Amino acid sequence: MRRHYGLVVRFSLRPGCEAAFDQLVTETIGMIRQREPGTLIYSSHSVHGQPDQRIFYELYADREAFEAHEAQPHVQRFLSERESLLARTEVDFLTPLATARQLEPAGPSD
């Protein structure tokens, strides 16, 4: 049985590097969407009230899909170019216990 493989990453950005980091992420996510069917979710979030923080949630079909992701040229570029933009990186590897899939986007919250 294939077991999903996930991680959460918190990036602390160097002052003034927010826009450059977000642009690099946008370019990388575009390539992930096109070329990585085993990457189920690769989501980048800003943190309310903490403009220098970004949190990523990543979910892969399995460990092999994660390893294939890490080997991609666009991911290698991201890993290399992000270093000058970061003050700190924290990574938590996850073992998903249960997953719900929402087929329709949620409406705006009030």
- The predicted model scores a pTM of 0.86
**What whole-number distance in Å separates Cα of residue 43 and Cα of residue 29?**
8
Please tell me the class of the 5-94 domain.
Answer: alpha beta
Neighbours of 110 (CB within 10 A): 3
Tens of pLDDT along the chain (110 residues) come to: 678 899 999 999 999 999 999 999 999 999 999 999 999 999 999 999 999 999 999 999 999 999 999 999 999 999 999 999 999 999 999 987 877 775 454 445 43
Between 18-35 and 73-82, two packed helices, what is the crossing angle to 10 degrees?
Answer: 170
Q: Domain residue spans in the chain?
A: 5-94
Q: How far is CA 31 from the centre of its chain?
A: 12
